[in-house]
């Protein structure tokens, strides 16, 4: 059954409510998402605020993933603090729209405690969602070796190329169990959508 205007409005309202709860430039993020989603129906969404710390400053980031019937829309927003060249702080908001047919992989890593005691339906402590469509890849390199433990020869390097378009980690300890459940729900919806679009 096709979605109604009220369904679409409710999905957008829920997304903007989550943006306001995240508290990270919600009006800016809603504006850039409005352009990228282009009034298409929202099937599922995930809002992931993150704060990172280094020796001199606190940096905030926000990643939003939106699933429509035809596309995956991603948005990432970063703070740019004031410095000697830019006297006032700014933010950069980037969106990308990927046709579902282009998504090559949806990988979800579950981390659980006491796996021997795991029971069906018990939520993970954290999940890492990795999405790949070939725009960005990561090369993991390591020294190559051989089976001879006494060998001291240089065997060069070995490695693998891994998709790295979007990787998000959600932890129950940091973001709460509801955030982990939301990430699992989004991964499920995206997996279903991409499977339905296989040739």
For the whole model, what pTM was predicted? 0.79
Let me know: does 63 contact 32? Beta carbons within 8 Å: no
E strands, 1-143, where? 44-53, 58-67, 71-80, 90-99, 105-111, 126-132, 137-143
Give the pLDDT confidence score for residue 3 in this predicted structure: 47
Give the pLDDT confidence score for residue 53 in this predicted structure: 64
Cα(107)–Cα(121) distance, integer angstroms? 19
Mean pLDDT within 125-142? 75
% pLDDT > 90, the chain? 58
Per-residue DSSP letter, 114:
S
Could you report how far apart the first and last alpha carbons of the chain are, in Å? Answer: 23
The domain spans of the chain are 5-102+175-196, 107-163
Give the pLDDT confidence score for residue 1 in this predicted structure: 37
Between 79 and 110, name the one with better pLDDT: 110
The per-residue pLDDT for range 57-80, each reduced to its tens digit, is: 667 889 999 999 999 999 999 887
Give the pLDDT confidence score for residue 52 in this predicted structure: 65
Between 149 and 76, name the one with better pLDDT: 76
pLDDT exceeds cutoff 70 at 169 = yes
Mean pLDDT within 160-166? 61
Give how far Cα 53 sits from Cα of 50, 56, 60, 61, 88, Å: 10, 8, 9, 11, 20
pLDDT exceeds cutoff 60 at 160 = no
């Amino acid at each position: 059954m096709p979605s109604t205007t009220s369904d679409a409005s409710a999905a957008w309202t829920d997304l903007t409510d989550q943006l306001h709860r995240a508290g990270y430039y919600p009006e800016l993020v809603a504006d850039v998402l409005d352009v990228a989603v282009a009034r298409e129906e929202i099937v599922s969404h995930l809002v992931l605020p993150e704060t990172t710390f280094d020796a001199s400053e606190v940096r905030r980031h926000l990643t939003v993933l939106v699933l429509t019937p035809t596309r995956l829309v991603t948005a990432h927003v970063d703070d740019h603090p004031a410095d000697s060249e830019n006297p006032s702080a700014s933010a950069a908001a980037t969106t990308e729209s990927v046709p579902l047919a282009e998504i090559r992989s949806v990988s979800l890593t579950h981390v659980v405690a006491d796996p021997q005691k795991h029971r069906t339906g018990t939520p993970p402590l954290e999940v890492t969602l990795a999405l790949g469509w070939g725009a960005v890849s990561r090369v993991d390199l390591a020294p190559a070796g051989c089976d001879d433990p006494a060998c001291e020869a240089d065997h060069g390097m070995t490695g693998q190329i891994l998709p790295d378009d979007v990787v998000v980690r959600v932890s129950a300890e940091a973001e709460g169990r509801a955030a982990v459940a939301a990430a699992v729900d989004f991964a499920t919806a995206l997996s279903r959508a991409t499977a339905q679009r296989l040739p």
